[in-house]
Amino acid sequence: MTHQAPKGGSQGRGAFTPARVGILALAVLTLVFIFENTRSTEIRLLVPIVTMPLWVALLSTAVLGGLCGAYLARRRRPK
């Protein structure tokens, strides 16, 4: 019998690689920062000025940044 490597490219490294732990820690710190800043603030959206909780502005900015990063990472992936 021969031993075959598992499919999927993980090669037995496990679920907690250093990169995944770093990303998880960064995500937790980002959420703590966002939810510690709960006061309302005025934000200028090009022309109008809106008042909203700061956590909403921070969370929406983080989500938009994550989506842009995921889009760019997907485009760079070799085919």
The CA angle 27-61-43, to the nearest 5 degrees, is 135
In sequence order, the 6+-apart residues with CB closer than 8 A to the CB of 39 are 53, 54
Note the pTM of the prediction, 2 decimals: 0.61
What pLDDT score does 7 carry?
57
Backbone angles phi, psi at 51, to 5 degrees: -110, 125
CA distance 63 to 31: 11
Q: Which residue, among 76, 31, 75, has the nearest Cα to 55 in the 3D structure?
A: 31
pLDDT in tens, 13-59: 678 888 889 989 988 998 888 888 889 999 898 888 999 998 888 88
What pLDDT score does 47 carry?
84
CA distance 46 to 61: 15
- For 41, which DSSP code? E
pLDDT of 1 over the 60 cut: no
pLDDT of 5 over the 60 cut: no
76 pLDDT band (50/70/90 cuts)?
confident
What pLDDT score does 71 carry?
92
